[in-house]
Structure 1
Amino acid sequence: MLPEGWKEIFLGNILDFKNGLNADKAAYGHGCKFVNVMDVINNTIIKHENIIGKVNTTAKNIDLFKLKYGDILFNRTSETKEEIALSSAYMDHSLAVYGGFVIRGRPKNSNINTDFSLYFFQSPSFRNQAIKSAQGVVRANIGQDSLSRILLPLPPLPEQKKIAAILSTWDRAIEGTEKLLANSQQQKKALMQQLLTGKKRLPGFTGEWKKTNIGNIAKEISIRNKNRKNYPVISCTKTKGFVDSLSFFNKKVYSDDLSGYKIISRNQIGFPSNHVEEGSIGLQNLHDDAIVSPIYTVFSMEENADPLFVFAVLKTDHYRQIFAAATNSSVDRRGSLRWSAFSQIKINLPSLPEQQAIAAVLTTADEEITTIESDLLRLRQEKKALMQQLLTGKRRVKVD
């Protein structure tokens, strides 16, 4: 049942759809600004100054495919149905054209507010219908006719404007939190570059750092799960470190027989021997004990090394490059970095108290980042819930 004052509309009644410009390969890279499918996928709002692509075309084509302020753009093809018909709005008056993998929707009348349209085409109702309308086996596609037949509830213009104003408040809060997160991450990166190399010393520490082989401060652990205990299975990712495999991948990615898997205890470090050069190395702090695939190398620290400090050093871009070089020079035909070669890599260490002090500073920085990430997730969830209510009329707004 429609809320009072709302009406159901077919998109074809409010938008004029048109496919974009196709040009020869040589035409790209110079000429007027050109909006491609990635611009649409990656942005909710497109501004002229942020468009990277260019195309050299005729005056006739420019007239046919030039964008106007408030045009809605949809990607018409994707590898998956879930990413079909993602939308963005061109919010600029400067000259730009759009590409052949993009469908332009131009408002036919004043029935839809430009700011409201930013949220209107993110609604679950639109997304669900667009996904169901997608066709294709290898790639998902959607056409003008399918978009035209999508039926959506539309509030009156005054209510559209109020809804857009409310949701834009959440957008500003999200944008501010994203900037705060980026600043905190950058500050941590700068701290790591200074503290982990000794360029900046914490108060009270002056002793000389010593270079040694990893094998002198760590020992390999290779205990198999022979008793088939029901330990949690974990995997190492490039960005998040160790994660619980089942919950992270939403499917079982490990063997039925776990007897050959390696046990990795809390504060031990591990990496998949064939992916460490990509940055896949983690500190196990999820469980007292867990298990990893047999392809992993697992090691623990000796008493003269702090695991948090050593892990932070090994996680830097500098060591990722070292791992890549060591992997490329490895005699292992599978391109793996085994403990025999890994243990010979050099590491520069301060005294144990200084290692622990540096680790404490970086842990505080991590906790701050985690707090901001939680705030950002909460804001996004609140906005999503609010959109669901406002764009369906389940929650009405007061119009002045």
Structure 2
Amino acid sequence: MTQNNQKLLDEKHIPEGYKKTEVGLIPEGWMIRTIGDFAPLQRGFDLPSRLRTDGLYPVIYSNGFVNTHLEYKVKGPGIVTGRSGTIGKVHYVEQNYWPHNTSLWVTKFNGVDPKFIYFLFSKIGFERFSSGSGVPTLNRNDAHSFRIQLPKSIEEQQKIATALSDTDTLISELEKLIEKKQAIKTATMQQLLTGKTRLPEFALREDGMPKGYKDSELGQIPEDWEVDKIANTLSITTGSRNTQDKINDGHYPFFVRSQTVERINTYSFDGEGVLTAGDGVGTGKIFHYINGKCDIHQRVYLMSNFKQNLDGYYFYIYFSNYFYDRIMSMTAKSSVDSVRREMIADMLIFLPPINEQKKISLVIKNLYAELDVLSSKLNKLLKIKQGMMQELLTGKTRLV
């Protein structure tokens, strides 16, 4: 059960059970201590790659677990954070471990619960103690002198840690489910978009025999599929607007060279289409499916006016999954600066019968929708956890 504090509208009023301190109002049973007092930090231990041997014990670097070693330096449980390079991340280690010299580790827990301190450190944000103009380095002295409130009672610390750990478990389980669903989606798309797997209603001939395969410019394809250039199946144009034309509360979507959709009060297109950035950091990776009124940046390509043998959403799925690989195969560099029209126009596409395209689109659209729902749940859980940390780790909400 939780007991919520009323908002403190009057700073002179101190609610029953609370006291005024240098960090504000905190519960009577809480104290203010420095990090150096209850969880001092020490630099980790050097471990050159040539001396490291895979073993049972995790090696914790500034960015977390990377590999293992035959020996350990510190008995778990422990807490590690970045000393140089990656600053701000906090890592909790259950077992014995080796803290690398790019990290700082808690040498002792003076009257505090390790898991509670992990959450407390995660909330503090150790990047505030970084210094140096080159590679950021955590200033241990600044961290040690930082004063913060925490419960005197180990039991209350453990209850807070348990509540937050339970939330972490839910988040972890949901992340694993999303990863599994993402893998299923990727495999399903690979199979259906290439014809390696046929949906049951399209897999057999009229006599009940399985349909065969034939050679094509893209290799083996189902006997009733075709291959054609994109330019032969739709129209390719670009927009005419500039980024500065956007209006924050505009009536229509405005597609620029970004995954972020801006707003505008004009529209130059009304219909079904697929968009991709013509240049910029997202070249070959930014795609939008549209069906309605919108306006378009002058360096964004629009594919529309789909012919009768091409379903618009099928094209969106196919194009967004294979276009990047195509343009990367056309350059000797590690990135593409801009997209030329012929990169799109001359790209080959598998063309199943239109009814099969529509069914493939529906199957994959449902997989996207399922992932969207799960991602939304994950975002809500992450926000809930942040709210819980703010309430529980400051004493605003007490666990009874």
Task: Answer whether TM exceeds 0.5 for this pair.
Answer: yes
1:100 CA displacement: 2.1
TM-score (norm 2): 0.76
| Counterpart AA for 1:299 | M
| 8 A contact 2:63–2:89 mirrored in 1 | no
Change (3 A) 1:117 1:366: same
What is the rounded CA distance, in whole Å, between the counterparts of 1:99 and 1:22 in structure 2? Answer: 6
Query: How many Å separate the matches in 1 of 2:63 and 2:246?
Result: 47
- The residue type equivalent to 1:52 in the other structure is N
1:138 alignment counterpart: 134
Secondary structure of 1:171 counterpart: helix
Query: What is the Cα deviation at residue 14 of structure 1?
Result: 1.4
User: In the TM superposition, what is the alpha-carbon distance from 1:86 to its structure 2 partner?
Assistant: 2.3
Are 2:260 and 1:243 equivalent residues in the alignment?
Answer: yes
Structure 1 counterpart of 2:30:
6
* 1:285-305 deviation per Cα after TM superposition (whole angstroms, max 9, x unaligned): 38621322x333322123321
What is the rounded CA distance, in whole Å, between the counterparts of 2:241 and 2:30 in structure 1? Answer: 62
Unmatched runs of 5 consecutive residues or more in structure 1: 40-45, 56-61, 247-257
> SS of 2:191's equivalent?
helix
Measure, in 1, the Cα distance between the counterparts of 2:337 and 2:147. Answer: 54
Give CA deviations for 1:336-370 in whole Å, capped at 9, x if unaligned.
44122431121110122211111111111111111
1:1-400 counterparts in 2 under 5 A?
A: 1-22=25-46, 26-27=50-51, 34-39=59-64, 51-52=66-67, 66-78=73-85, 84-93=87-96, 96-109=97-110, 111-123=111-123, 126-127=124-125, 130-155=126-151, 156-205=153-202, 208-225=224-241, 232-235=253-256, 242-244=259-261, 267-274=272-279, 279-285=284-290, 288-292=293-297, 294-300=298-304, 301-316=306-321, 318-328=322-332, 336-398=338-400
Does the 8 Å contact 1:70/1:106 carry over to 2? no
Q: Distance in 2 between matches of 1:28 and 1:264?
A: 60
More helix by share: 1
AA matched with 2:102: F
Contact 1:76 / 1:102 at 8 angstroms: preserved in 2? Answer: yes
The one-character-per-residue Cα deviations of 1:299-346 (angstroms, maximum 9, x if unpaired) are: 212332112111211222x543222113459xxxx8644122431121
What is the one-letter code of the residue matched to 2:74? Answer: L
Question: What is the alpha-carbon distance in structure 2 between the residues aligned to residue 383 and residue 229 of structure 1?
Answer: 35
Equivalent position amino acid for 2:105 in 1: R
Q: Is the 8 A contact 1:113 1:160 kept in 2?
A: yes
> Contact 2:31 / 2:150 at 8 angstroms: preserved in 1?
yes
Q: Give the C-alpha shift of residue 276 in structure 1.
A: 9.8
Given the two structures, how large is their TM-score scaled by the length of structure 1? 0.76
Structure exhibiting the larger radius of gyration computed from Cα positions: 2
Report deviation, 1:281: 4.0
Counterparts of 1:13 and 1:335, CA distance in 2: 53
Distance (Å, rounded) in 1 between the aligned partners of 2:103 and 2:109? 19
- Distance in 2 between residues matched to 1:140 and 1:287, nearest whole Å: 48
Deviations 1:106-145 (A, max 9, x none): 2243x1112222211122xx22xx4443322334322221
Equivalent AA in structure 1 for residue 95 of structure 2: D
Q: CA RMSD in A?
A: 3.2
Paired letter, 1:375: K
Alpha-carbon spacing, 1:284–1:264, altered in 2? closer, same or farther (3 Å): farther
Tell whether the 8 Å contact from 2:277 to 2:283 is kept in structure 1 after alignment.
no
Secondary structure at 1:271 match in 2 = strand
Unaligned runs of 5+ in 2: 1-24, 204-222
Give the letter aligned to residue 147 of structure 1: A
Aligned to 2:20: none
Deviations 1:187-232 (A, max 9, x none): 2112111211122222433570011111110211235249x68665
Q: Is the 8 A contact 1:70 1:89 kept in 2?
A: yes
Secondary structure in 1 matching 2:184: helix
Is the Cα contact below 8 Å between 1:21 and 1:98 reproduced in 2? yes
One-letter amino acid of the counterpart of residue 350, structure 2? N
Q: 1:219 to 1:327 in 2, by over 3 A?
A: farther
3-state SS of paired residue (2:398): coil
TM superposition shift of 1:279: 4.0
Task: Decide which structure has greater strand share.
Answer: 2
Partner Cα distance (2:163, 2:39) in 1: 24
Give the 3-state SS of the residue equivalent to 1:66 in structure 2: coil
- Quote the Cα distance in structure 2 between the aligned partners of 1:229 and 1:140: 37
Matched residues, percent identical? 24
